[in-house]
């Protein structure tokens, strides 16, 4: 099983950027960022180019990281995500697609993961349809040369694009969101970019 080092086949520049963004979103949705990750986000700079959604989102995220601290982030994450039914948002595809927990969308995703050769980590407390896990999965998929374009597009449409945008909208509207509004902005802008990417590449 892989730990924290991903070995990949040779990939394009674009694929690396896409996989990195999926991985970052996954990391942020699974847990609040620690100081090291925040410092790396700050280092990307807060300059924004007006009218460019993804650029503005990067800037917003860097600025949010600059003003965040561990205590407030832990409280915000707890308020937003922890506890099924008790957080302000419920970040699972089963919830968004089936209005239940660990239901058919999770079953379908697990079937897909068997074909992909991806499995839930034994030490993970979250099911595979958690938004953070789904983003991690996309990070793997983008770099996996065994997953051709059509399959990659199907995975995006079946397990991501049909619900994750609504999750980011809900995070943006959640009363307890502060730092995570910036994460939602990046997620929304990136989903738009990915949607256009798949449409353009068809």
Residues making contact with other proteins (CB under 8 A): 1-17, 19-21, 23-24, 26-27, 30-31, 40-41, 43-45, 47, 49, 52, 54-55, 58, 113, 116-121, 124, 126, 128, 130, 132-133, 135-137, 139-140, 143-150, 152, 193, 196-197, 200-201
Alpha-carbon distance of 55 to 51, in angstroms, equals: 8
Closest CB 10 distance from other proteins, rounded Å: 5
Residue 136: both structure tokens together: 């991690």
Closer to other proteins by Cβ: residue 3 or 99: 3
Two tokens, residue 179: 């730092």
User: Exposed, middle or buried, 29 (CB in 10 Å: 0-12/13-18/19+)?
Assistant: buried
The nearer residue to other proteins, 111 or 173, going by C-beta atoms, is: 111
Q: Which is nearer to other proteins, 15 or 161 (CB)?
A: 15
Place of tokens 């040779």: 10
β-sheet bridge partners, residue 130: 92
What gap in Å lies between CA 90 and CA 104, rounded to an integer? Answer: 16
Q: Which is nearer to other proteins, 175 or 199 (CB)?
A: 199
**Least distance (Å) from other proteins to the CB of residue 68?**
17
């Amino acid at each position: 099983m892989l730990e924290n080092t991903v070995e990949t086949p040779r990939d394009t520049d674009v694929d690396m950027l896409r996989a990195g963004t999926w991985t970052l979103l996954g990391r942020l949705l699974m847990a609040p960022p620690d100081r090291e990750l925040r410092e790396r986000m700050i280092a990307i700079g807060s300059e924004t180019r007006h009218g460019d959604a993804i650029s503005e989102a990067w800037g917003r995220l860097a600025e949010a990281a600059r003003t965040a601290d561990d205590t407030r982030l832990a409280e915000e994450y707890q308020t937003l995500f922890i506890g099924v039914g008790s957080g302000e948002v419920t970040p699972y595809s089963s919830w968004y697609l089936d209005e239940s927990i660990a239901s058919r969308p999770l079953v379908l995703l697990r079937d897909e993961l068997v074909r992909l050769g991806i499995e839930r980590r034994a030490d993970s407390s979250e099911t595979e349809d958690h938004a953070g896990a789904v983003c991690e999965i996309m990070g793997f998929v983008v770099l996996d040369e065994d997953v051709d374009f059509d399959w990659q597009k199907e995975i995006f449409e079946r397990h991501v694009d049909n619900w994750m945008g609504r999750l980011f909208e809900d995070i943006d509207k959640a009363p307890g969101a502060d730092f995570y509004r910036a994460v939602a902005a990046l997620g929304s802008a990136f989903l738009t970019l990915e949607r256009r990417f798949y449409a353009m590449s068809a």
